[in-house]
């Protein structure tokens, strides 16, 4: 499994219909967009998938549907992490039974566990037997997994890597330099993907690839192949989109963009709400500036 943890993973949004239910027709359009765009990994029910608002029955339905629909055309890394170890274990057991390839397990939020607590949490989830990709996102969890703790967790059987969204280059470099064989770091920040790959990261779990999977995955493959000039050119071409995707809380902006592209409806679950009119205009301006790279329908 760890040999395949390389390239572009899309942290897919969860499409909702006007009645608030999961919109599987839109989900199919979104997944087709990813597969046709050449991404290597699809990551449902991460932060971008509005994980905290998804019920247990919906989670099961989403995991079952996406695993069956993708049918090994991309790696499925199921978002199973919560701030409760017992629940995270249960969700990971379910993902394993349904056929997921790996689990994305976020640092427990709100609880603020100690380094020993973090180690015990990730070990308990990894003991399920499904490969675990740790997820460090201090901006959402209020807690950073430092390099020392990450490297300790890297020795746990079935812990295969970390999605790093700390934006701390020194921390990322320490992890990459000292990680055991088979443990990979993936960027969790779209706009830092190319420089992190230059340091030794193996890819990214991306928000922006929801919209532009073909271009984003080309950028990542160029970077992994050492074709810096080509990767840099795409990086700057997509930089404004990477930035505007976080003009408001994710996934508000990317859902607005995908709706403009005709892929999903712009529906979010409270406490998230649609983006403000001024943000919507900035998103539309960025999409139009991309000169037809995106799909044909622009609202």
Topology of the domain covering 2-236: TIM Barrel (3.20.20)
State the catalytic residues: 135, 163
- Please report which confidence band the pLDDT of residue 3 belongs to, taking 50, 70 and 90 as the band edges: low
Buried b (16+ CB within 10 A) or exposed e, 116-132: eebbebbbebbebebbb
- Please report which confidence band the pLDDT of residue 299 belongs to, taking 50, 70 and 90 as the band edges: very low
Cα–Cα distances (Å) from 296 to 111, 240, 261, 262, 263, in that order, read 45, 19, 7, 8, 10
Cα–Cα distances (Å) from 277 to 20, 232, 253, 264, 294, in that order, read 22, 32, 11, 19, 21
Averaged pLDDT for residues 201-225: 98
Reported as a single tens digit per residue, the pLDDT across 30-39 is 999 999 999 9
Predicted confidence at residue 5, as pLDDT, reads 86
Predicted confidence at residue 297, as pLDDT, reads 35
Reported as a single tens digit per residue, the pLDDT across 110-148 is 999 999 999 999 999 999 999 999 999 999 999 999 999
Question: Is the pLDDT confidence value at 296 over 70?
Answer: no
Domain definitions of the chain by residue range: 2-236
Reported as a single tens digit per residue, the pLDDT across 177-206 is 999 999 999 999 999 999 999 999 999 999
Reported as a single tens digit per residue, the pLDDT across 247-259 is 999 999 999 999 9
Residue 280 tokens read as: 């919507």
Averaged pLDDT for residues 239-247: 97
**Separation CA 273–CA 243 (nearest Å):** 19
Rounded mean pLDDT of the chain?
95
Predicted confidence at residue 295, as pLDDT, reads 44
Buried b (16+ CB within 10 A) or exposed e, 186-209: bbbbbbbbbbbbeeebbbbbbbbb
DSSP 117: H
């Amino acid at each position: 499994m760890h040999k395949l943890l390389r390239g572009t993973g899309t942290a897919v949004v969860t499409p909702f219909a006007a009645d608030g239910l999961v919109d599987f027709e839109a989900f199919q359009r979104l997944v087709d967009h990813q597969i046709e765009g050449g991404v290597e990994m699809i990551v449902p029910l991460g932060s971008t998938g509005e994980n905290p608002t998804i019920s247990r029955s919906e989670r099961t339905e989403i995991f079952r549907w996406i695993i069956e629909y993708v049918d090994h055309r991309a790696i499925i890394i199921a978002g199973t992490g919560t701030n409760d170890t017992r629940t995270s274990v249960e969700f990971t057991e379910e993902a394993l039974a349904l056929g997921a390839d790996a689990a994305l397990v976020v640092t427990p939020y709100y609880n603020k566990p100690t380094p020993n607590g973090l180690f015990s949490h990730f070990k308990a989830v990894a003991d399920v037997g499904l490969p675990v990709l740790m997820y460090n996102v201090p901006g959402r969890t209020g807690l950073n997994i430092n390099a020392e703790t990450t490297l300790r967790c890297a020795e746990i059987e079935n812990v295969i890597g970390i999605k790093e969204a700390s934006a701390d280059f020194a921390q990322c470099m320490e992890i990459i330099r000292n990680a055991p064989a088979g443990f990979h770091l993936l960027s969790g920040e779209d706009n830092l993907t190319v420089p992190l790959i230059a340091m030794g990261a193996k890819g990214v779990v991306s928000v922006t690839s929801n919209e532009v999977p073909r271009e984003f995955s080309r950028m990542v493959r160029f970077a992994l192949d050492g074709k810096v000039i080509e990767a840099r050119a795409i990086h700057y071409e997509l930089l404004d989109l990477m930035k505007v995707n976080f003009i408001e809380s994710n996934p508000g902006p990317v859902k607005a963009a995908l709706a403009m592209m005709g892929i999903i409806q712009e529906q979010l679950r409270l406490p998230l709400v649609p983006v403000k009119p001024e943000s919507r205009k900035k998103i539309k301006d960025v999409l139009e500036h991309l000169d037809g790279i995106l799909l044909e329908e622009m609202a």
